[in-house]
Each structure stands twice: as C-alpha cells, then as structure tokens.
Structure 1
C-alpha cells in the first residue's frame, strides 16, 4: 500500500523521467549540428612528375590552386620551391585544381577567382622592345602587309603547368583525375585515381619555344643592331582548358648577328590558334654602321612563314628558316658614334623589298 509520502515522491519523479529522453534528443541534435558544420582538415602530399616535359629547362618553383566545387569551402593557393612538391593541409571536399610555375616575370593573370576563368596574358609593348628595353610608340614603324592593325604585346615567360578535375578529398582517402599528355588518348575510359594521401600532377609546357635563322645574309658586317617581330600569334591562354586567345597580335623579339652570314633568335609565345587564318609574317629591323635604318619583310614572300608555323612537327618547338638577305651596301662611311646613338623615334626607314 502506497503511503502519502511515497505518492508525493512519485509525482515529483515522473516529470524528471519524461524529460530525460527529450534532453537526450536535444543533446544528439546539437552534436550533429556541430559535426556537420565542422571542416575536417586533411593532410596530403602533392607530387610533380616531369616526364611530359621535353625541354630540359625547368622552373624554380610551382604554385597550386584548389578551387572548391561545393559551398562552404574557400579557394586555396599553395606555393612550392623546387620541383618536387610537398605536404599541404586542406579542408575535405570536392575541388578542381590548376598548377603552373611561380617564377614568372613578364606575364600577368586575371580571372583568378575561378578555375574556368584563370587566364595568363602579357602587356602591350613596342616593336623595338628588345633593343630599347622599354615600351615606346609603334607609330611610323613599318609593319608586315595586312598586320598593321594588330596589337603589339611582349613575349611571355616560359611556363609549365596542368590541371586536375573531379578531386574528392576525405579522411578516408583521395580520388582525382590528372592525365599525363602522353596518355590522354588512352585515358578516356579510365576511372579516377584513388590514393591514400597523394595527388600526382604532370606539368607540361604551356608556352612554346620558337627559334629562327636568316641564312646567307650579305653585307652582315655592316649591321650594328637588329630586332624582329612575328605576326598572327595568340595574345593569351586560358589555363583550365589551355584555350588560346583568338585575337591575333604581333610579338617583338631579339635578333643576333654572327658577323659572318647569319641572323638568329629565340623567343617564347603562347602559340597560334589553329582555327584562325591570319598569316604569320616576320619583320626584320636593321641599323647599319653608317646611321641608316632598314626594314625587311613588309611585302617579301620569303618572310611569310605561315606554312612553316602550321606544318611544324612539334607545335611547342618551332624552328623558322629564311634563306637569303641582302643588306644595302653603305654609301656613306661608317659613323664611329652610331653604336651609342640609337634613336627609337627614327621614322626615315628604308624599306627593302626582295623577291624570292
């Protein structure tokens, strides 16, 4: 038989017992919310495999951008000295990735807020950039026929890089797709790579190396300074898809005389857009030791190197050849002050037209 004392205590205990399951539910909900919003940080290693690079030249370091594909994550940039890579710590989630060398000096970047708009380009320049070491007006300087309206921009730096997609980073492991250039044709049906804690990237050349030689140059001993240009080239590169810009530009670059019979040079370019019909015409600008200035190539067929550019066996390494050039024989005696008196504003050009 329950006494009044027992009845009183039972009435007090019943509300407490009813509250216990409710407190457990509230506690469990709070725990799940905290866990859901917490960013799980994962330590992983980035490695660079350079087997896709033909040229022995290599950069001093690389940067890597992780672009998130889900809300709540932020874009991250990591920089590495050297070519090996290293360890990073990043929030678990889904990403896309871009990497390229971080030792550039001549290029600029824009659209860096997203993977698809990240772009590299160069500034406007002068046709005599290589000899004046600075920008100047291109007004009055002879141009190749049909290229007079092209913008003049400076050559880019040598660049290496690649991209990776479908990256999933979790505490259980990593999956991603980064395809070596040499394996792209065979990769289409393969699944993503799954690893425990490593992403391997395969940088390749993003810019092109062009070399040229003008052979059998007569009266070359009278040249004290020269520079050159090439028209119809791409002004920029979209890094994610490696898509070249479609507006053709003219690139100025250095020219060197061997003092015997040959003028040579080497320059870097983003390349040319294969779908555009714009011609690729070289121009050579020469100053002789009698104070005269001459231009070659404005209408000369031999300076039209379009076919050489388009048919090059390797679009990343193009070698151009122009055979035969006659430098006018000086009428006036050489001027000993000419080497120190270069005038970038000179407009009294002698345009030399030579048939094939």
Structure 2
C-alpha cells in the first residue's frame, strides 16, 4: 500500500510542471487571440520612373540606343521599410514602422486617416507632419558658388537643392477598423512621388577637352504634398553631377516633377524650365551653357528624357595653356557643391 501511495505522489509531482508549462503557454499566447482594432497591411509598389502624357514620346517603346542604360534599369527599387502615420478623429498622431511588404497595424477605436510612405530616404525632408492635410516632402538645400542662375529662368534666385531620393506614398482619408481576432487584409499600392529625368547634353565639338561636368535643372517643384501627390507651387533648381559619354555629357536626375501638378487648370506654357551645363576642361578652364527646355519638360511633368544639342568647346579654349591638358583636374576645388545637412 505504501509503495502504491509513493507512485501516486510521484505522478502528481510530474504532472504539476506539465500543467504549469501549459498554463504559461496559454497565457503567453493570449494576446493573439484577443479582440482588438487592427488590420493586416499588404503593400505593393508601382515601380515606375516616368509617366507618359498626351503627345509626349513613349520612351518605353522608343528608347534612344545611345544611352548607356536601359529603360528597365531606371525602375526604382522596392524600399527597405514602410512607415504609417495614423491620425484619429481628435488629430492625435501615431507612427508605425514595418517591413516594406507590410504587417499588422494596431489602431485605436474610431475613424483614422492613414498616410503611407517609405522610411529609408536619405535626402527627403518631411515637413508639417502634424496634419495629414499639410504633410509634405521636400529635399535638402545644396549650394554651388559658381552657379549664378539661368538666363532662361522665369524666377531669379531660385532655391537650389539636391535631387530627392526615391519616395513612394499613399493615403486613406478615412478608415474605421473593426474589433476582431483575425485582422482583415488591407491592400495598399504605393505610388511614386519622385520621378526621374535622363538629361542628355549632346556635344558638336570639343568633348575631348572636358574633364568634369555638372548641371542644374531650374523651375521644378520644390515639394510634394503626401496626401494627394500634387506638387507645390514653389519652385527650385536641382543641382547634380554629370558623367561623360561618347555623345557628350549625361545625368540621371530625380525630381518631384513640375510645380503645381496635377492641376485641372494646368497650362503648359505658363511656366519656364531651363538647363545649365558647367564643364571644367582638362586645362582648368570653366565654361557654362544655358538652355531653354520649357517645351520638353512641360510635356513630361513626371519624368522622361531631356535633350539639348549643338554644344561646342573651341579648340582655342581646349588647347589654352602650356600643356593643353592637365590630367590632375579631377575635382571642382573651391567650387565644390555644399550640401546643407539636416538638423
């Protein structure tokens, strides 16, 4: 009898930790089975670098063979992460970061406005995020002491900026979550808010004398409103570096697009857009060229190809100096661009 009693006691001792473990597991897993206001965000990305409008050239179908890249290679990558700003009915804001593909978003009771954008930008400056109605994105200020504006520009003394990096966005004006155990799916398509211009400077003579090249695209939108994708009416000049190609110089430049667009009252001829090219020759001489590209840019409000031609460097300029060529000309010296850091 005593032996049987000992067996019962031993069994009871062994069962206790098992029950305890099971109880702990149930407690640990309790939250996933609780009712809450949440939704499963599933994000996809519209990887477009330009849109064709009206009678503009369809670059996907008519790609210039002389370019050193393909149309497909310019498509923006999927970002590293997604950020969601939620605004409840009182205006209170909450921020949630998640993988680029999405994830579980927990909300409070009631209606919310939801703002979606990628969280891996380097040059984008986010402003007025305290309200979904005013939230906008701009880019860093960049200065170039040798750039004195463009003779074709409509606005003198435009703010000069760096090109923005890729920004995607979407916005839901009103979403009311249900209190459920299993979160419903929310499919979100992230649209591009930054577009790309391939800029071609075609040389007629003297390209062999060029050591360095850089440019400026004037008259472009300074910012974009994140709840609509409409660009601001404020204008800015984008500063950038160029590469030297067989036909001349080239740049791949990101931009928010043209100002105040889209707009039902938009008129193509109402704004002016201009290009600048600054080249430093191998003998150290610097030359500048300005171009009016209003017609080309107006047809391409969201990315495309801009081409200017007939550029000449005279032999007199190119061969000036004792040796004619200085292989040590590899930077802009005291005229390097200065990028204003974020606070």
Query: Which residue of the other structure, out of 249, 253, 273, is the alignment partner of 2:236?
Result: 249
In 2: Cα distance, 1:145 partner to 1:281 partner: 6
> Could you say which structure has the larger radius of gyration?
1
Alignment map for 1:199-278 (pairs within 5 Å) = 199-258=186-245, 260-273=246-259, 274=261, 275=266, 277-278=270-271
In the other structure, the counterpart of 1:89 is: 106
Q: Cα 1:340–1:56, aligned 2, differ >3 Å: closer, same or farther?
A: closer
1:79 aligns with 2:97: yes
> Contact (CA 8 Å) 1:291, 1:338: kept in 2 or not?
no
Corresponding residue for 2:57? none
1:309 matches 2:297: yes
State the 1:79 CA deviation: 0.8
- Unpaired runs of at least 5, structure 2: 1-34, 50-74, 337-343
Change (3 A) 1:244 1:304: same
> C-alpha offsets along residues 171-220 of structure 1, whole Å, 9 cap, x if unaligned?
169xxxxxxxxxxxxxxxxxxxxx96222111011111111112244211
- The 2-side partners of 1:172 and 1:316 are apart by 41
Paired with 2:331 and 2:173, the residues of 1 have a C-alpha distance of: 55
Counterpart check, 1:68 vs 2:69: no
Q: Distance in 1 between matches of 2:334 and 2:150?
A: 15
Cα separation, 2, equivalents of 1:89 and 1:247 = 37
For 2:215 and 2:47, the matched residues in 1 are separated by 31
Q: Distance in 2 between matches of 1:222 and 1:148?
A: 31
1:49 is paired with a residue of what secondary structure? Answer: strand
In the other structure, the counterpart of 1:5 is none
Instruction: Return the TM-score normalized by structure 2.
Output: 0.71
> Where in structure 1 are there 5+ consecutive unaligned residues?
1-39, 128-136, 174-194, 298-302, 347-356
- Equivalents in 2 of 1:265, 1:162: separation in Å? 29
User: Which residue in 2 is equivalent to 1:288?
Assistant: 281
What are the residue-to-residue correspondences of 1:18-29 with 2, within 5 Å?
A: none
1:143 aligns with 2:150: yes
Structure 1 residue 340: Cα displacement: 4.5
Give the 3 Å change call, closer, same or farther, for CA 89–172 of structure 1 in structure 2: closer
Cα RMSD, aligned residues only: 2.5
Return the offset for 1:159.
Answer: 0.7
Partner of 1:185: none
Residues 217, 263 of structure 1: 8 Å contact kept: no
> Partners of 1:341 and 1:209 in 2: how far apart?
26
Is 1:319 paired with 2:319?
A: no
In structure 1, distance between residues paired with 2:331 and 2:255: 31
* Residues 5-53 of structure 1, C-alpha deviations (whole Å, 9 max, x = no match): xxxxxxxxxxxxxxxxxxxxxxxxxxxxxxxxxxx84232111133574
* Structure 2 equivalent of residue 342 of structure 1: 332
CA positional deviation for 1:342: 3.2
Q: What is the match of residue 165 of structure 2?
A: 157
Deviations 1:104-138 (A, max 9, x none): 001111211111111111232123xxxxxxxxx45
Contact residue 52 and residue 202 of structure 1 kept, 8 A: no
Give secondary structure in 2 for the equivalent of 1:309: helix
Structure-1 separation of matches of 2:149 and 2:109? 58
TM-score, structure 1 normalization: 0.68
> In the alignment, does 2:184 pair up with 1:197?
yes
Q: Is this contact kept in 1: 2:38–2:177, CA < 8 A?
A: no
Q: Check conservation: 2:274, 2:292, Cα contact below 8 A.
A: yes
**Deviation, structure 1 residue 157:** 1.0
The aligned residue for residue 118 of structure 1 is 135
